[in-house]
């Protein structure tokens, strides 16, 4: 039994959420999916370890969730949209999660994004035909 290789595997710094990751992180994502319901969030908050056990998390995955190690959770293959249901209510944005991969702060990450704005209007004007304020 072997996981098939893909063309996207070679893109640096990029982890595509495919069958291999979806399979290994299934229980994690299922737990996060349950957080759509307020009563599940409350039950988790009351006793995180016991709640994890209801989802048959591995010891390693349960530890990450209980300790809220968001970067480790993503490295374990959890899907970012599902992780967002866990981290955002805890004051950690998706941008903070992205920043953690680069070892920078969320503010630094947002600064880097804002740099994309520099010269944008001039770039759009050169392109022509676009609404530009």
Q: Does 42 sit near other proteins (CB under 8 A)?
A: no
Residues 53-92 that bind other proteins (CB under 8 A): 74, 79-82, 84-86, 88-89
Among 2, 5, 14, 60, binds other proteins (CB under 8 A): 14
Q: Does 113 sit near other proteins (CB under 8 A)?
A: yes
Q: Does 125 sit near other proteins (CB under 8 A)?
A: no
Among 2, 59, 60, 133, binds other proteins (CB under 8 A): 133
Q: Does 17 sit near other proteins (CB under 8 A)?
A: yes
Closest approach, Cβ 50 to other proteins, in A, equals 20
Residues 6+ away with beta carbon under 8 Å from 110: 95
How far is the C-alpha of 81 from the C-alpha of 52, rounded, in Å?
19
Closest approach, Cβ 80 to other proteins, in A, equals 5
Among 3, 16, 68, 122, binds other proteins (CB under 8 A): 16
**112: enclosing H helix or E strand:** helix 106-114
Closest approach, Cβ 13 to other proteins, in A, equals 3
């Amino acid at each position: 039994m072997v996981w098939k290789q893909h063309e996207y595997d070679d893109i640096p710094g990029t982890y595509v959420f495919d069958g291999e990751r979806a399979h290994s992180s299934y229980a994690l994502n299922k737990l996060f999916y349950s957080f759509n319901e307020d009563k599940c969030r409350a039950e988790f908050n009351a006793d995180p370890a016991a709640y994890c056990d209801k989802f048959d998390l591995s010891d390693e995955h349960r530890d990450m969730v209980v300790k809220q190690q968001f970067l480790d959770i993503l490295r374990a293959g959890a899907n970012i949209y599902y992780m967002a249901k866990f981290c955002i209510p805890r004051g950690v944005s998706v941008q903070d999660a992205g920043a953690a991969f680069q070892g920078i702060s969320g503010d630094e990450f947002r600064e880097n994004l804002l740099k994309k704005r520099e010269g944008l209007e001039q770039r759009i004007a050169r392109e022509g035909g676009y609404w530009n304020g």
